[in-house]
Amino acid sequence: MQSLNNRISRRAKKLFLVVLLKLIPDIFSLILAAFIAYNYRFENNRKDQLKISPFGNLNYQFVIFALICLWVIMLFGYNNYQARHNSIFINNFRTVLRPSITLFLGLGFFSYLTKAEFSRSIFIWFFLGGIILIALARYLIHIFLIKKLVSTKKIFTGVLLIGPNQNNLNSYTDWLMENNSLGYKIISRSVCTKIDLEWIERFENLVEDRKVEEVILLPGIDSDINFSKFVHYLQDLNLPINWIPNDTGNLGYWQIPHPQEGIPFLTFKEPKIPFLGAFFKRVFDLIFSFLFLIIFSPIFLIIATAIISKEGRPIFFVQLRVGKNGRSFKMLKFRTMVKNAEVLLKDVDNKHGRDHILFKNNDDPRVTNIGKLLRRYSLDELPQFMNSFLGNISIVGPRPALPRETAAYSSLYERRLLVKPGITGPWQISGRSDLDLKTSVALDLNYVTNWSFSRDLLIILSTPAAIFRKKGAY
């Protein structure tokens, strides 16, 4: 607990430095860029009103203030203000350029749709001025302040070196001391010949006793069969990971190391969707599910009528599933089984084995005739769009898990609960019920760790073909 409190305290100090050295200068740079652009465009003739359909006339200064706020939000969404080592010690201009271009392309499209009478010159001057002034301010702060603070050891990141032998540790200790401009200070070192419970206890004691902020994993330790589990363990401790690799294949294919700008180590992407990505994903889910429910409402009515006429009520099958962060919710499906299906479960064979946590039978006698048709084309899952609209699940995500599955999860499998489950996902387009648990979970872990919005769109576009192939649909 003391170690956790120390890390929170040091992270708070880093966050203060980020605000002081990056956020505040960025805001002042944007205000100055806006002032220059506005006064250059309207030097002799101030224009107070801007017409934006359908919002009517808006105050020009208000619009510029809103653009400054949007720009800062975009920079925040692209992780410019994280309390991490490379946010302070490394001057990476690409983290400014990408969100800035994205924002102004979006604004250009918005102004075209709304026929906004926004001055193109003020738009261009503000855009160019903002980028140039932010880049200049960050460069000057990095050269004249951060480098000086690093060289005098006023600011640093305390690291724990972990290697397979003493020679390995000594070699990289010397190298880090020679390259002290990176901003790392070696707090402690540990030889790890085998990742097991005994060594984990020694590691925990090191982290508790020393002011460890990040971990550097040296070449050779990745040859241990438990390396992937140790990486997950460090992520659970909220300890940033730097890795100098040997390619041994013990990661699990969902763990893809990434280079860091200005730092000669690889790191691992945190298994979560970024704030801005999660926001856009939720907006997309709302719009997509709403339109789907409206457009396909006649199909819903036909299926509901067929179920009532053939099998009687209820129309829906309601089942408890586990969502994001282990929260339970009631998932909806069109009913495809007889009414006393749960009672008859003990008499039906499970293709995975009697005691397996997943139940599948490709000729389940409890499934009704209309149920077989609905399952064949995944029509029984259409009501899940109501769950998506309500926010229980997403359009794309890991397979919604049953409570008995999550009760048996290891810490590795629990990572699939870090995002909302989905109506479709990598498991849906890769074989559905034909997949075993290990393969299904591996696909989900890859999705969680390497999420992107373009990948969501690709999965959505691939789903109809998977449905009509009928593979694993029973």
CATH of the domain at 251: 3.40.50
**Which residue range(s) make up the domain with 88?**
2-151
Structure tokens at 215: 């971990």
User: Which SS3 state, helix, strand or coil, does residue 20 take?
Assistant: helix
Q: In this structure, are 139 and 183 located in the same domain?
A: no
Q: In this structure, are 65 and 142 located in the same domain?
A: yes
Specify the pLDDT at position 6.
58
Least confident interval from 150-154, 283-287, 343-347: 343-347
Q: In this structure, are 419 and 279 located in the same domain?
A: yes
Q: Is position 474 within any domain?
A: no
Specify the pLDDT at position 394.
95
21 or 83, higher pLDDT: 21
Euclidean distance between CA atoms 214 and 211, whole angstroms: 9
Beta carbons within 8 Å of 26's beta carbon, 6+ residues apart: 72, 75, 80, 134, 137, 138
In the numeric block, the tokens 């290990």 are attached to 438
Q: What is the mean pLDDT of the chain?
A: 81
Structure tokens at 187: 């707090």
Q: Count how many Cα atoms sit within 13 Å of the Cα of residue 419 in the half-sphere of its side chain.
A: 31
Q: In this structure, are 249 and 286 located in the same domain?
A: no
Q: What angle do CA 203, 209, 215 make, to 5 degrees?
A: 50
Q: In this structure, are 459 and 403 located in the same domain?
A: yes
Model confidence pLDDT, tens digit, residues 28-57: 999 999 888 877 766 555 555 444 444 455
Specify the pLDDT at position 448.
84
State residue 185 phi and psi, 5-degree precision: -125, 125
Containing H/E element for 299? helix 297-311
Q: In this structure, are 172 and 145 located in the same domain?
A: no
Residue 431 has pLDDT above 80, yes or no: no
Q: In this structure, are 253 and 283 located in the same domain?
A: no
Structure tokens at 322: 């586990």
Euclidean distance between CA atoms 25 and 142, whole angstroms: 12
Q: In this structure, are 171 and 87 located in the same domain?
A: no
Reply yes or no: is the peptide bond before residue 314 cis, omega within 30 of 0.
Answer: yes
Question: What percentage of the chain reaches a pLDDT higher than 90?
Answer: 25
Model confidence pLDDT, tens digit, residues 294-303: 999 999 999 9
Q: Is position 60 within any domain?
A: yes
Q: What is the torsional sign of CA 339, 345, 347, 352?
A: positive
Total structural domains in the chain? 3
Model confidence pLDDT, tens digit, residues 444-474: 888 888 888 878 888 888 888 777 765 545 4
Instruction: Note the pTM of the prediction, 2 decimals.
Output: 0.60
Containing H/E element for 422? strand 422-424
Euclidean distance between CA atoms 443 and 47, whole angstroms: 56
Q: What is the torsional sign of CA 187, 191, 194, 200?
A: negative
353 or 188, higher pLDDT: 188
Model confidence pLDDT, tens digit, residues 210-233: 778 899 999 888 888 899 889 989
Q: In this structure, are 70 and 135 located in the same domain?
A: yes
State residue 419 phi and psi, 5-degree precision: -130, 165
Q: In this structure, are 304 and 426 located in the same domain?
A: yes
Q: In this structure, are 248 and 333 located in the same domain?
A: no
Q: In this structure, are 192 and 43 located in the same domain?
A: no
**Domain edge (last residue) among 112, 133, 151:** 151
In the numeric block, the tokens 């140790």 are attached to 230
Euclidean distance between CA atoms 91 and 93, whole angstroms: 6
Least confident interval from 53-67, 87-101, 192-206: 53-67
